[in-house]
Amino acid sequence: MTDRPIDIRSDTVTKPSPEMRVAIANAEVNDDVIDVDPTVKRLQDLCAEMLGKEAAIYMPSGTMTNQVAVRVHCQPGDELICDVNCHIYNYEQGAYAQLSGVATRTVEGDFGVMQLDQLRDLIRPDNEHMVRTRLVCLENTHNRGAGRILPYENVEAVCRWAEENGLRRHLDGARLFDAVVASGIEAAEWAKHFDTVSVCFSKGLGAPVGSALAGPRDLIQLARRHRKVFGGGMRQSGIIAAGALYALENNVERLAEDHANAKILANAIRETEGLSLEPENVDTNMVIFRVDSSLGTAFDFLAALEEKGVLVLTVSPAKIRAVTHLDVTDKEVIRAGEIIQRVAEKLKDR
């Protein structure tokens, strides 16, 4: 066992670097509810510029940016269309219904990729008995799709169809910068197909707190109002925005290292009897693999890995997720792969 666990549960487990801590300690601040915090403003302006939008607003979490986006686009009795495995549908407590009175219509995508033919007949007729189809949400990269990058042509086609049919478009881009680095397609090019885009600074980029929602100035002004009612108005928030700003300015291009490390881990899993990648291809920094029943459950496998100093997460009784990030080195990833192989061999021989 190593001196410290190899923690690949998520790219949210990173700690602020010494340089980021300096930026946080020296942040210029003010009351961002009464007036404006200068560090928050710099972050918001940079985020809007990178995404090619008029404005952006900083919030505590990606759940809040997504739910505020739903609220600015929809009224109670409206419906949004999304992939059945997306974050908005699975990991936000059905907040679209709890907070905004919005229904969902889900589509079974291919590891997060919805095809246009699956969507064409989903718009409800204008009928007082039915909800009003209002919004299409996509997620890029796709969490439960093991960090899959949505094909650009697919995004373009779905968003064009939505716009032609009077539907709003929101992108949950919590890990959009992973897609940017891996695809070579700029953030603004991805974002231009959507009315609003949310991005996260604590996933992959290494900041301790926060996400941003970007879009047209009038919608972001409305989003500020909804952020307040959701409890997201923060005072001297430049303290945490400084970490996010540092991350955006310094930690985007290095995401390529995480992608390379994820491929190292994936290769080790491919070579291990009783384990199989789902999906087979690894696009960015996530690896999801199935544990064959001959080795026990995913929970058994997780416990055995933890004993050997490797921390992962289960995503189902038979599947495990591992995520590379800036606080895990290539040597640690290689070692994690070796431990995974040894654990599988030991469980097979029980």
Q: Does residue 3 surpass a pLDDT of 80?
A: no
Question: For residue 231, what are the domain limits?
Answer: 31-250
- For the chain, the first-to-last Cα distance in angstroms comes to 21
Confidence class for position 35, pLDDT limits 50, 70, 90 = confident
**Rounded distance, CA 77 to CA 230, Å?**
20
Same domain, 185 and 240: yes
Residue 60 lies in a domain: yes
Q: Report pLDDT for 348.
A: 84
Same domain, 223 and 260: no
**Whose CA is closest to 210, among 24, 78, 7?**
24
Same domain, 318 and 344: yes
**What's the pLDDT tens digit per position in 217-229?**
999 999 999 999 9
Mean of the pLDDT values across residues 164-168? 97
Cβ pair 140, 150 in contact under 8 A: yes
**What's the pLDDT tens digit per position in 273-326?**
999 999 999 999 999 999 999 999 999 999 999 999 999 999 999 999 999 999
Give the residue from 250, 277, 298 where a domain finishes.
250
Same domain, 132 and 217: yes
Residue 158 lies in a domain: yes
Look at the chain and report how many structural domains it folds into. 2
Determine if the pTM surpasses 0.85.
yes
Give the residue from 202, 235, 250 where a domain finishes.
250
Q: How far is CA 43 from the centre of its chain?
A: 19
Residue 286 lies in a domain: yes
Same domain, 150 and 77: yes
Same domain, 284 and 180: no
Q: Does residue 216 surpass a pLDDT of 50?
A: yes
Cβ pair 263, 279 in contact under 8 A: no
**Whose CA is closest to 208, among 2, 6, 27, 5?**
27
- Assess whether the previous peptide bond of 279 is cis (omega < 30° from 0): yes
Cβ pair 190, 154 in contact under 8 A: no
Average the pLDDT over each of 10-14, 31-35, 167-171 and give the range with the smallest value: 31-35
**Rounded distance, CA 6 to CA 24, Å?**
26
Residue 26 lies in a domain: no
**What's the pLDDT tens digit per position in 237-246?**
999 999 999 9
Same domain, 37 and 61: yes
Helices (H), the chain: 18-25, 38-51, 62-73, 87-90, 95-100, 116-119, 152-164, 176-183, 187-191, 217-229, 238-250, 255-270, 298-307, 330-348
**What's the pLDDT tens digit per position in 86-141?**
999 999 999 999 999 999 999 999 999 999 999 999 999 999 999 999 999 999 99
Q: How far is CA 323 from the centre of its chain?
A: 12
CATH of the domain at 236: 3.40.640.10
**Whose CA is closest to 30, among 236, 233, 240, 245?**
236
CATH of the domain at 317: 3.90.1150.10
Same domain, 208 and 293: no
Same domain, 176 and 282: no
Q: Letter for the amino acid at 117? A: D
Same domain, 310 and 200: no
Residue 266 lies in a domain: yes
Q: Does residue 349 surpass a pLDDT of 80?
A: no
Helices (H) and strands (E) in the chain, counts: 14, 13
Give residues with Cβ within 8 angstroms of 234, minimum separation 6.
32, 33, 58, 60, 240
Please report where in the chains the tokens 């007729």 appear, as a residue.
125
* Token pair recorded at residue 91: 């990991």
Residue 96 lies in a domain: yes
Q: Does residue 350 surpass a pLDDT of 90?
A: no
Residue 24 lies in a domain: no
Same domain, 134 and 261: no
**What's the pLDDT tens digit per position in 282-297?**
999 999 999 999 999 9
Residue 236 lies in a domain: yes
Mean of the pLDDT values across residues 211-215? 98
**How many CB atoms within 10 Å of residue 333?**
22
Q: Report pLDDT for 1.
A: 44
Q: Report pLDDT for 2.
A: 46
Same domain, 223 and 335: no
Average pLDDT, rounded, for the chain: 96
Give the residue from 230, 250, 270 where a domain finishes.
250
Bridge partners (DSSP) listed for residue 336? none
